[in-house]
Amino acid sequence: MLLYHLFANSYYGTMAVWFLGIPVNLLLGAAVFLVVPETLKRRYSGWDLSEESFFEEWSRQWDSQQKIMLRTFLILMIFGGLICFMAFNGSFLFTYYYPYNYAPYYLLVATMILQTGLCEGMIIRFMMKKLREHMEGIRKIRQEKMDAALAEALEIERRSMEKVSRSDQLRMDLISNVSHDLKTPLTSMVGYLELLKKEELGDTARDYLEVISRRAEKLKEMIESLFSLAKVSSGNVELRRDSITMNRLMEQVFADMEDRIRDSKLEFVVRLTRDDTAMVTDNGYLYRICQNLMENALKYSAAGTRVFVKTFVDEQNQIGLEITNTAGYRMDFDKEDIVERFARGDKARTTEGNGLGLAIVSTYAKALGGSFDIFIDCDQFKARLLFGRGEA
């Protein structure tokens, strides 16, 4: 009825026409806003957003929708232009005279443009929403797959670590048991060797006895090292809390090894820090660590070279020990290789050693809550220990 009055024989001013056009467009816009999305929802209710082929189908439907809207817009524009042309020439179907105001016809064209644009906007909104839902679904699926793959990888890693841990524990138990079983008869054998030394023997027999005794002592030392290493590695050890200083401990190590250092033909350059090196830790285990590092330097340093020993306190207030020596051969291995049990830097085995020294250092340092690291540059070997001060 409103449209009839606008285009019938009644005269309306321009402002009145546009004022009447506002409710018309609001009503039409509300209809478009309600009808178009519902129509699209029903039409595409069969879409499966999880399908990988969804985007291809979406693209086809998008192209189809745009073509339909373009054709609709062109038809409406042609229709609106025809009405305006007829009105301008006085041949409008509803009237038999020239209208006094062309505003209703302009309003008609504007309404068609506005409602077509609103319809296009609703279509774009619907299609973009479906595309976003599809992309979000793909993202969730990929995330679930990644989470599942990560969980599977972590589970495999966990099982592998458990298997390695069990295997390592079995080896440690075997070493511990064998070491314990060998320790008793070996101690007895060493005792009998000491008794034989008290007997009257010829020079040749005494020389042989001395060789056997030295080898037995070496074997006893290695078994004790194996037993201690297995015990610490298994965590079955009680640590004491002794108040010591790193400088004083190193002075004790040097005093105990004075004869070996003097006979080694090596020059030891010792620099003990003036900073406070007081700490709380197990004195016995730390002594063994420092002793092993010194023995390592004595065994593998090239004759006539210098061995640098220094203590220090770093920026984190950790107490450190650093021993640097020059080997008599090129070192082509890394830390992981050299700290393995029975690994030796001297692969030609021209020096004495059982390959447990640095393994003991690494294991003991970890047990004491410290860190052990090595740095290798051709024939230069640097060992570094760092420990917190601990609490009494």
173-198 per-position pLDDT tens digit: 666 666 666 777 777 877 877 887 78
Residue 224's domain comprises 158-233
| 392 occurs within a structural domain | no
55 and 12 assigned to the same domain: yes
Quote the pLDDT of residue 167: 66
* Residue showing tokens 């601990």: 390
Sheet holding 371-377: strands in order across?
267-271, 306-313, 319-326, 380-387, 371-377
**Coil, helix or strand at residue 9:** coil
Q: How far apart are CA 56 and CA 43, in angstroms?
A: 17
298 and 185 assigned to the same domain: no
165 and 281 assigned to the same domain: no
Provide the H-helix boundaries in 234-356: 246-256, 258-263, 283-300, 335-338
Torsion angle defined by CA atoms of residues 364, 365, 366 and 367, in that order, rounded to the nearest 10 degrees: 50
150 and 166 assigned to the same domain: no
205 and 94 assigned to the same domain: no
Quote the pLDDT of residue 269: 94
Quote the pLDDT of residue 58: 80
* Residue showing tokens 């049990």: 341
Task: Report yes or no: 114 and 25 within 8 Å, Cβ to Cβ.
Answer: yes
26 and 164 assigned to the same domain: no
Residue count (the chain):
392
311 and 213 assigned to the same domain: no
CATH number at residue 365: 3.30.565.10
Q: How far is CA 61 from CA 72, 74, 194, 388, in A?
A: 16, 20, 100, 69
250 and 382 assigned to the same domain: yes
Q: pLDDT 10s digit of each residue in the chain, 392 long?
A: 444 444 444 445 566 667 777 887 788 888 888 888 888 888 777 777 667 677 777 888 888 888 888 888 888 788 777 777 766 665 554 444 445 566 777 777 788 888 888 888 888 888 888 778 777 877 787 888 888 888 888 888 888 887 776 766 666 666 666 666 677 777 787 787 788 778 777 788 888 888 888 888 878 777 777 777 776 766 667 788 889 999 999 999 999 999 999 998 899 999 999 999 999 999 988 999 999 999 989 988 988 899 999 999 999 999 999 999 998 777 766 666 666 544 444 544 444 554 577 888 888 888 888 999 988 888 889 999 999 987 75
79 and 96 assigned to the same domain: yes
186 and 317 assigned to the same domain: no
